[in-house]
Amino acid sequence: MSKVVVIGATGHIGTYLIPRLVMAGHDVTAISRGVARPYQQSAVWRHVTSVTIDREAEEPKGRFGQAIAALGADIVVDLICFTEASNCQIADALEGGVSHFIHIGTIWTHGHATVVPTPESAAKFPFGDYGTAKAAIEADLLSRARMRGFPATIVHPGHIVGPGWAPLNPAGHFNPAVFSTIARGDTLPLPNFGLETVHHVHADDVAQVVMRAIDTRSAAVGESFHAVSDAAVTLRGYAEAMYRWFGHEPRLSFAGFEEWAKSQDADEAKATWEHIARSPNCSIEKGRRLLGYAPRYTSLEAAQEAVTWLISDGQVQGR
């Protein structure tokens, strides 16, 4: 049994990771700001030590990394690190004191794909603040692992979905009204030909990759792994499958992105551009080979479970 500290424990991934860790026999400490509850309730949370630390408040004072180090964990899983400076503070504090450090990154570190399915080893061309910052964190951690023996593993999720929040929809943004349009059998406009790709992953499958990295530490240290479903979907394919799931034949229209965006909410159109400009389609072969990763959910299964929850919550309605 290892002492495991999970930072950002009550979010999407932590909701599934914490119960997995407890049921595997680990001594788990959950770090959060104390303002959110897990998306799914589980009795095993009674066996978790909860510690309230406000990372945003403590990091500027240089105290967050030391606070985590003082907990004396064998394994630290950081689910919510978004800047290189933030990563450096915690990695510096933990160096020489942990047996395994797992950072949650993003498939957006790839930027524009040059080959699909994209392996973790592909040359990376990130763009935008989020993907660029996560790529810098990955580069730093892999350098620490190679040059100084820091026991880092990086897990790169796709578009994380699950019951309790709105999934990335077939229009490439997060407004649940898109699913209501489909549920009614109305026409859904899509940008271009709807052939750009998105790559979902159920939050529990991300937790699975983390657990497998812990269980196969020797294969995982110094490596990065994609945490995605077994196949990406096109916007068109995703939309057509959802129409049929609701019992309708697909009704789609298409327009070039700029023309399409004129009829959309500006923020939603921007979110769509962010997703289709990258059109991720990532390989999980490395995770299968080194960790034994086997996603439980396909992209559509994960999205449909999330939409089932949206329906029960009254956020998606048909006629």
At 319 the pLDDT is 64
> One-letter amino acid identity for 182?
I
Reported as type and span, the H/E element at residue 14 is helix 12-23
Reading the chain (319 residues) residue by residue, the pLDDT tens digits are 799 999 999 999 999 999 999 999 999 999 998 777 888 888 899 999 999 999 999 999 999 999 999 999 999 999 999 999 999 999 999 999 999 999 999 999 999 988 999 999 999 999 999 999 999 999 999 999 999 999 999 999 999 999 999 999 999 999 999 999 999 999 999 999 999 999 999 999 999 999 999 999 999 999 999 999 999 999 999 999 999 999 999 999 999 999 999 999 999 999 999 999 999 999 999 999 999 999 999 999 999 999 999 999 999 997 6
Q: DSSP letters of 200-261?
A: EEEHHHHHHHHHHHHHTHHHHTTEEEEE--SS-EEHHHHHHHHHHHTT----EEEE-HHHHH
State both tokens at 82. Answer: 């978004």
* 33 touches 53 (CB < 8 A): yes
pLDDT in the model for residue 41: 82
CA angle in degrees (0–180, nearest 5) for 95-85-13: 80
CATH assignment, 164-198+231-279+298-312: 3.90.25
Instruction: Name which of 43, 7, 6 is nearest 28 in CA terms.
Output: 6
CATH superfamily name and code, 3-160+200-227: NAD(P)-binding Rossmann-like Domain (3.40.50.720)
On whether the CB atoms of residues 159 and 235 are closer than 8 A, the answer is: no
Name the residue ranges covered by the structural domains of the chain: 3-160+200-227, 164-198+231-279+298-312
Q: Which residues fall within 8 angstroms of residue 268, CB to CB, at 6 or more apart? A: 171, 173, 174, 175
Distance CA 234, CA 310 (A): 22
Model pLDDT, residue 185: 97
CA nearest neighbour of 294 among 209, 224, 220: 209
**190 close to 260: Cβ distance less than 8 angstroms:** yes
Burial of 77 (0-12, 13-18, 19+ CB in 10 A): buried
